[in-house]
């Protein structure tokens, strides 16, 4: 008999997913003895209804707040289908004794590569050169005015986690001077990696390019607001492949129009898809991509497979190192899996 034969079956609910990987979670979880039910939740009410009786949730974008958790007495685990988990009320989950886990390393290489592609595009003026050529010009020095070489160009990396550390490493390897700001990482660790640890103000004031790699929390929402953007060097650039809510988009559009910022590149937005009336749509010197930095066919498969596997591991009593709220076990006195 397999371990799945020895325990009662339960239902794992995939609350929502816009990924073309349906069947991956089913393969992983059904092999372990669990039933998978998929939904298309958009609101907390949707989740409460769709997840009734679930022993675990796999969540992409649907909100899982305190009211949802209070109405799911059988739920023992929440797996985030991605890296960030700002759509889940982690504090409420901890109070309910429910662990929350993310998939923090499935697309590190992809996001770092996308970030550096943005940095190179902005510092080498590729959008302007492309537009000029298509308009019939052959004017490298005019349309490429302001292009920079890596040596002598300073990139400030805000956040030195998995992706931020990779961006800093790779940027330094091609010659950029790298500053790092992360209040949660000791300066000694940053300096041991060959970078310069700085305060947020120093990063904004000294960098030619600022790249964001921090989680979205109430404390970091609009980290780059109008005053912060005004502290950046005139003509400098901003790159965001992290979370849209880190940037005040109206203030960013104004900074681009005024010339305070020379350019920006965004893969993420406060509201997604990007609204038709967003002030970003007609802002100058702005390069956009549709929340695609994470994507490659390999990353796509790894994401859902890992999100499902950590559900199976937890429900089967195996350790899950990606749990973001280890304090759940103190609330749930026995700490035992279902």
Spell out the SS3 assignment of 41-104: CCCHHHHHHHCCCEEEEEECCCCECHHHHHCCCCCCEEEECCCCCCCECHHHHHHCCCCEECCC
Peptide bond into 273 cis (omega under 30): yes
Active site residue 191: no
- Predicted confidence at residue 331, as pLDDT, reads 85
Residues 64, 325: Cα–Cα separation, whole Å: 15
Overall number of domains in the chain: 2
26 lies in the same domain as 133: no
Is 338 domain-assigned?
A: no
For residue 7, pLDDT over 90 is answered with no
Domain of residue 177, residue span: 108-288
- Predicted confidence at residue 334, as pLDDT, reads 52
Of residues 5 and 219, the one with the higher pLDDT is 219
- Predicted confidence at residue 6, as pLDDT, reads 44
- The one catalytic residue among 76, 166, 195, 243: 243
Assign residue 172 the CATH number of its domain: 3.40.50.720
Active site residue 160: no
The average pLDDT across 287-309 equals: 97
121 lies in the same domain as 82: no
301-327 confidence digits (pLDDT tens): 999 999 999 999 999 999 999 999 999
Active site residue 272: yes
- The one catalytic residue among 233, 257, 291, 332: 291
- The one catalytic residue among 272, 281, 318, 330: 272
Residues 10, 90: Cα–Cα separation, whole Å: 23
255 lies in the same domain as 210: yes
313 lies in the same domain as 223: no
Is 68 domain-assigned?
A: yes
The average pLDDT across 233-250 equals: 98
For residue 22, pLDDT over 90 is answered with no
25 lies in the same domain as 121: no
- Which residue from 156, 206, 154 is spatially nearest to 181, judged by alpha carbons? 156
């Amino acid at each position: 008999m397999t371990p799945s034969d020895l325990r009662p079956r339960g239902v794992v609910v995939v609350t929502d997913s816009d990924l073309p990987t349906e069947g991956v979670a089913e393969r992983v979880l059904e092999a372990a003895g669990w039933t998978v039910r998929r939904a298309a939740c958009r609101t907390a009410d949707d989740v409460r209804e769709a997840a009734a009786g679930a022993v675990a949730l796999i969540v992409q974008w649907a909100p899982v707040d305190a009211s949802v958790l209070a109405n799911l007495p059988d739920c023992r685990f929440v797996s985030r289908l991605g890296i960030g988990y700002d759509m889940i009320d982690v504090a409420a989950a901890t109070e309910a004794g429910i662990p929350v886990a993310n998939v923090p390393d499935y697309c590190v290489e992809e996001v770092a590569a996308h970030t550096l592609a943005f940095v190179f595009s902005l510092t080498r003026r590729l959008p302007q050169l492309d537009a000029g050529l298509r308009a019939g010009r052959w004017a490298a020095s005019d349309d490429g005015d302001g292009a920079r070489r890596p040596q002598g160009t300073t990139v400030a990396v805000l956040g030195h986690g998995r992706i931020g550390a990779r961006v800093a490493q790779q940027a330094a390897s091609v010659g950029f001077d790298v500053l790092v700001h992360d209040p949660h990482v000791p300066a000694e660790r940053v300096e041991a990696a060959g970078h310069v640890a700085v305060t947020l103000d120093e990063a904004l004031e000294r960098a030619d390019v600022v790249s964001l790699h921090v989680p979205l929390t109430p404390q970091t929402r609009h980290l780059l607001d109008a005053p912060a953007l005004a502290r950046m060097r005139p003509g400098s650039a901003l790159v965001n492949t992290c979370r849209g809510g880190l940037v005040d988009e109206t203030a960013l559009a104004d900074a681009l129009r005024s010339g305070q910022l020379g350019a920006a590149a965004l893969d993420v937005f406060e509201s997604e898809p990007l609204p038709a009336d967003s002030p970003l749509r007609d802002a100058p010197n702005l390069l956009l991509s549709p929340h695609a930095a994470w994507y490659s066919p390999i990353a796509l498969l790894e994401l859902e497979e890992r999100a499902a596997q950590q559900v199976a591991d937890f429900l089967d009593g195996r350790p899950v190192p990606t749990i973001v709220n280890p304090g759940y076990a103190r609330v749930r006195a026995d700490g035992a899996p279902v």
